[in-house]
């Protein structure tokens, strides 16, 4: 069952945590310290209090300054936290990055949430406000899928492989521990209680409660039964040859009629451009949806992508870039009128028959460096619905990038029903455009 709106995605996770009876296994690249994250930890702690065994595996990139709080939570007898590939130095992390770059550069980008080995949520969302329509200034358009059946067994097996790997380290082994760990747990409980009271009467909390109740009371959720293939890297990616990219490459090569790709960070190297050109020569219609310079929260990534636009367009690939002023469905509850929209969905549809949802970006980092996961859903019904949903949003949320008669990039869009053509990166300042051109000079595409 797809979870397209952020408000649905957080409500589903909270419902699952609230109704868990035996186990919760959660694996995330990013868990921050904001409204959504505090609600997430609160739900997990309350489950642990009920006797549910909670295991949380997080990457170490976003944990700086949070060792004490995590250690407090980890002291709960039913709550275990492990950190993937931790920095040895908890404060001066840049020293680790300099002295041991090859190891530190490898991050766990997986995202999964599995309850009682019976239901799982996987996709592109981390645990932070921007993924769930809870920020006023920034909103990520993203996508998850709720799965039951054999998929859950596959996700659980993948989680256990990561949890038991040598790179998944218990906090006690390296963290800056507080002097009184039990007192730290109580301090965290107090912070979570205060946060719950502060946001309890907000419009956003009200909307989450409403969707929470609807999930609980609805016995007829629109699940679609379909064959699937879970695709995931091994925890030791980087030191082994196992990679999700091999599985995805095989699926992409199966395209006969059309390929529709949605990727926020899209950095095709020369080999990637050649692969898309090969598909076009075979008559496959290829459409790419990615971030514009204005909507991309990673300017360096845009600099890596920009040089590929012209060769892709020349071989017949259609490119759409997300507008920074696009509406993100479900985000209007908290978002201000000038909130920046950013694409974060990682998905593709092959011949309207197979649909991928996961954490994988079409960039070198996902392909060769970070661990990734996702599911290939073999369902013409869901694949058709997904592509139609993506296409229906193009007019209002994107600019199509085209080449004019002189071979120059032009952005074609719609402004209140009026067709417009823009001759520079839309919604950007001269400083942004200059910086983007400077960043293109850096020899970093293999790291993006």
Helices (H) and strands (E) in the chain, counts: 15, 20
Q: Note whether residue 264 is domain-resident.
A: yes
Instruction: Count how many domains the chain has.
Output: 2
Same-domain check for residues 194 and 285: no
User: Does residue 272 lie within any of the structural domains?
Assistant: yes
172 with 266, same domain: the answer is no
Of the candidates 157, 192, 217, which is a domain's last residue?
Answer: 217
Pairing state between β 138-141 and 340-343: parallel
Domain identity same for 277 and 314: yes
With bands split at pLDDT 50, 70 and 90, how would you rate the model's confidence at 349? very high
Residues 274, 339: one domain?
A: yes
> And the tokens for 320?
């759409």
Q: Specify the 3-state DSSP secondary structure of 37.
A: helix
The answer to whether residue 213 is domain-embedded is yes
Same domain? 176 vs 258: no
Residue-wise pLDDT tens digits, 79-88: 999 999 999 8
Instruction: Kindly report the CATH number assigned to the domain that includes residue 383.
Output: 3.30.870.10
pLDDT at 218: 77
Q: CB of 38 within 8 A of CB of 195? A: yes
In a domain, 236, yes or no: yes
Which of 401, 389, 421, 392 is closest to 318 using CA atoms? 401
Q: Which one, of 438, 11, 425, 433, lies nearest residue 218 by Cα? A: 11
Q: Cα-Cα-Cα-Cα dihedral of 179, 185, 186, 187, to 10°?
A: 70
Regarding whether 117 and 17 lie in a shared domain, the answer is yes
Q: What is the DSSP string of 91-150?
A: S-HHHHHHHSHHHHT--B--EEEEETTTEEEEES--BSGGGTT--SSEEEE--EEEEETH
Work out the average pLDDT over 286-298: 97
The reported pLDDT for the residue numbered 176 is: 81
Shared domain check, 234 and 350: yes
Yes or no: say if 442 and 433 are a contact pair by the CB < 8 Å rule. Answer: no
Q: Are residues 305 and 331 in the same domain?
A: yes
Rounded Cα gap, residues 214 and 15, in angstroms: 10
User: In this predicted model, what pLDDT tens digit does every residue of 237-269 receive, in sequence order?
Assistant: 865 556 899 999 999 999 999 999 999 999 999
User: Averaged over 40-61, what is the pLDDT?
Assistant: 97
- Quote the domain boundaries for residue 408: 227-447
**Per the domain annotation, does 381 fall within a domain?**
yes
User: Is the domain of 414 the same as that of 436?
Assistant: yes
Domain match, 392 and 443 both: yes
**Domain boundary at 196, 217, 238, which?**
217
Q: pTM of the prediction?
A: 0.95
Tokens of residue 394, six digits: 């193009």
pLDDT tens-digit readout, 103-155? 899 999 999 999 999 999 999 999 999 999 999 899 999 999 999 999 999 99
- 159 with 267, same domain? no
pLDDT tens digits along 401-411:
999 999 999 99
Q: Which of 193-207, 212-226, 300-314 has the highest mean pLDDT?
A: 300-314
Same domain, 149 and 247: no
Q: Which of 192, 217, 242 is the last residue of a domain?
A: 217
Catalytic residues: 109, 111, 116, 344, 346, 351
Question: Per the domain annotation, does 222 fall within a domain?
Answer: no
For the chain, what is the mean pLDDT?
93
27, part of any domain: yes
pLDDT attached to residue 336? 66
Q: Identify the pLDDT of residue 339.
A: 87
Question: Does 204 have pLDDT greater than 80?
Answer: yes
pLDDT digit string (tens) for 355-380? 999 999 999 999 999 999 999 999 99
CB 117 within 8 A of CB 158: no
């Amino acid at each position: 069952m797809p979870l397209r709106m952020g408000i649905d995605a957080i409500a589903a996770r909270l419902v699952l945590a609230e109704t868990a009876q035996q186990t919760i296994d959660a694996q995330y690249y990013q868990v921050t310290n904001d409204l959504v994250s505090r609600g997430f930890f609160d739900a997990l702690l309350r489950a642990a209090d009920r006797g549910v065994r909670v295991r949380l595996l997080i990457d170490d990139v976003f944990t700086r300054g949070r060792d004490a709080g995590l250690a407090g939570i980890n002291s709960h007898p039913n709550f275990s936290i492990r950190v993937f590939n931790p920095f040895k130095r908890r404060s001066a992390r840049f020293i680790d990055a300099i002295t041991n770059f090859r190891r530190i550069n490898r991050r766990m980008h997986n995202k999964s949430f599995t309850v009682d080995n019976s239901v799982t949520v996987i996709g592109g969302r981390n645990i932070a406000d921007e993924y769930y329509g809870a920020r006023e200034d920034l909103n990520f358009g993203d996508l998850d899928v709720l799965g039951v059946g054999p998929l859950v067994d596959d996700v659980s097996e993948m989680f256990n492989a990561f949890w038991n790997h040598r790179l998944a380290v218990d906090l006690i082994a390296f963290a800056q521990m507080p002097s009184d760990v039990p007192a730290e747990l109580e301090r965290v409980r107090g912070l979570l209680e205060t946060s719950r009271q502060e946001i309890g009467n907000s419009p956003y909390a009200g909307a989450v409660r409403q969707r929470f109740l609807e999930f609980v009371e609805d016995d007829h959720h629109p699940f679609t039964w379909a064959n699937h293939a879970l695709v995931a890297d091994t925890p030791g990616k980087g030191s082994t040859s196992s990679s999700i990219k091999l599985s995805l490459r095989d699926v992409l090569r199966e395209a006969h009629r059309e390929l529709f790709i949605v990727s926020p960070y899209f950095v095709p190297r020369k080999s990637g451009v050649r692969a898309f050109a090969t598909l076009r020569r075979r008559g496959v219609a290829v459409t790419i949806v990615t971030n514009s310079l204005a909507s991309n929260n990673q300017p360096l990534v845009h600099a890596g992508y920009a040089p590929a636009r012209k060769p892709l367009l020349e071989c017949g690939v259609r490119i759409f870039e997300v507008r920074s002023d696009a509406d993100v469905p479900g985000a209007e509850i908290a978002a201000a009128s000038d909130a920046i929209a950013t694409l974060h969905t990682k998905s593709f549809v092959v011949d309207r028959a197979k649909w991928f949802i996961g954490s994988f970006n079409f960039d070198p980092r996902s392909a060769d460096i970070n661990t990734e996961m996702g599911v290939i859903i073999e369902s013409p019904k869901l694949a058709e619905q997904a592509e139609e949903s993506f296409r229906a949003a193009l007019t209002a949320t994107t600019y199509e990038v085209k080449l004019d008669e002189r071979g120059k990039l032009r952005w074609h869009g719609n402004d209140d029903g009026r067709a417009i053509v823009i001759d520079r990166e839309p919604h950007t300042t001269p400083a942004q455009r200059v910086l983007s051109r400077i960043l293109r000079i850096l020899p970093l595409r293999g790291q993006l």
